[in-house]
Structure 1
Amino acid sequence: MSEISEYINGVVLLIGFTILYFTTKNLLPSYFSEKGKNLANKKDISELTSKVEEVKIEFAERLQHLKSKLDVKSQNELNFKNDTRQVVLSCHQKLDLLHQHLSDTFNQPSNYYNQTEITDRVEKTRLFAQDFARSHSIFDLYVEDDKLLDDFRKVRKSYIDLTNVVISGLVSLERNLEKRDLQDFKAEHDEIYEIYRKLSFESTSECHNSTADYRGRLRSYLRELYN
């Protein structure tokens, strides 16, 4: 804020001196052209002094008005930076939560024969995905860096794809549990589970690839918001 204030004061002083210069430049030639070579009497000096004072008052009023406008503009810019920083941090907190949940879902040992547990995981995955979707919609509105937005959309797509893979795999397991009375049920169920894990790992790899360069660009963008 100190740098912004110094900048504003510098602009204000420059404008002030400019106004005073042109005012004096216009008044004095006019004054001396009317009087010619005669010396200014006391009445003339009084009139000139009065005009100068009027100009000084007008200048001070304009100066104050301009400074107020600049102060408001700088404060608005600062507020926007703060809001943008909060939006960016919130969005990536949601992304990290989604990432952790997806990783836990297909990495941690679970009873994939338990329909209640599978259904619960499907619902939680949808909730984490919805939270991230809401936050990244706001992210798009605030962030003004086009390159960062392009990279972020790639990251977002990779996580949407991973989310779809996880939900699709879990739903397939959930539906297959309805066939538990069939003779080949266990072999088929285990096969669905292995396919689900394989696709999940492949999609996770895509997520890592998309975030490799993005994280560095994001850190640079956040540093700019803190300056």
Structure 2
Amino acid sequence: MEYINTIILLIAFLILYFLIKNMLPSYFGEKGKNLATKQDITDITEKVESVKQIFTAQNEKLKFNLQFLTSSQLGLYQEERNAIIDYNQKLAIWINVLTNSDFAGIDTKSSLEIEEYKKLISNSYSDLLESEAKFKLFVDNSELTNQADNLKILILDKLCDIANSCLIELKYNNINLERSGNDTEKLHDERMTFHDNYNKSIVENITLIAPVIREFRKNCKDYLYRLIKTTEQSH
């Protein structure tokens, strides 16, 4: 009986041995694989999240840079637009001062008012030059800036001397009137001649300049429309 029990016990140990030898390593191997797989997934997930964070940060930085560049570009477009409008306004004022038929209604018998009008001519030209500096700084169109230069030179050549010369003649006529005795009719006729010659010269020369002015304004207008379209496309 004890012999049989010993054999049964031995068989039980053998079975247990084979179970431990064959099944447990397989179990722990699978368990290890599962643990390794979970660890790999964790590592991969962490790497993916890290890459996503880097990508998101780079994307936000890129978006910020693009927004900054767009905003800067729109700001330049606005400055360019303002420079064109301001230059045309200053140009119109300067031309009007030079070609006003009665010198804006001043009393041409007053030497003081004549001097004030001469200052007005000088100041309007100074304002134009100041506007021109901004015009050339912001307007990115050499054809337009060259056209502005040529127009300014043409006006200086054809109109500036006419107004200033007439004002100087009127001033000296005033001095002669103050000094004269009874011979004032001749001086008054002389004044009328100054005015007539001034107006004829203005009409003659503005007729030559007017087409150039119209062309310049048209080109400015067309360029402004292109700027507006470019600005709308940038939004």
Give the TM-score taking structure 1 as reference length. 0.70
| Structure 1 alignment gaps of length 5 or more | 1-37
2:144 is aligned to 148
Paired-residue identity, %: 22
* AA aligned opposite 2:164: I
* AA aligned opposite 1:168: S
The 8 Å contact of residues 101 and 199 in structure 2, kept in 1 or not, is answered as: no
The CA distance in 2 between the partners of 1:203 and 1:52, in whole Å, is: 77
Deviation for aligned residue 1:208: 0.6
* AA aligned opposite 1:80: L
The 8 Å contact of residues 118 and 174 in structure 1, kept in 2 or not, is answered as: yes
The 8 Å contact of residues 88 and 139 in structure 1, kept in 2 or not, is answered as: yes
Mapping of residues 1-227 of structure 1, within 5 Å: 41-106=37-102, 112-161=108-157, 162-180=159-177, 181=180, 185-186=187-188, 188-227=190-229
* AA aligned opposite 1:79: G
Deviation for aligned residue 1:58: 0.8
* AA aligned opposite 1:170: L
Q: 1:67 to 1:110 in 2, by over 3 A?
A: closer
Deviation for aligned residue 1:151: 1.5
| RMSD, aligned CA | 2.9
The CA distance in 2 between the partners of 1:110 and 1:53, in whole Å, is: 80
The CA distance in 2 between the partners of 1:112 and 1:205, in whole Å, is: 25
The CA distance in 2 between the partners of 1:127 and 1:164, in whole Å, is: 16
The CA distance in 2 between the partners of 1:218 and 1:50, in whole Å, is: 59
The 8 Å contact of residues 155 and 209 in structure 2, kept in 1 or not, is answered as: yes
The CA distance in 1 between the partners of 2:121 and 2:195, in whole Å, is: 17
Number of equivalences: 190
The CA distance in 2 between the partners of 1:109 and 1:47, in whole Å, is: 89
Q: How big is each residue's C-alpha offset from its partner over 1:160-210, in whole Å with a ceiling of 9 and x where there is no partner?
A: 332332123212321343334396645554444443333322332233121
Q: How big is each residue's C-alpha offset from its partner over 1:128-164, in whole Å with a ceiling of 9 and x where there is no partner?
A: 2222221122111111111111222222223333233
Structure with bigger gyration radius: 2
| Structure 2 alignment gaps of length 5 or more | 1-32, 230-235
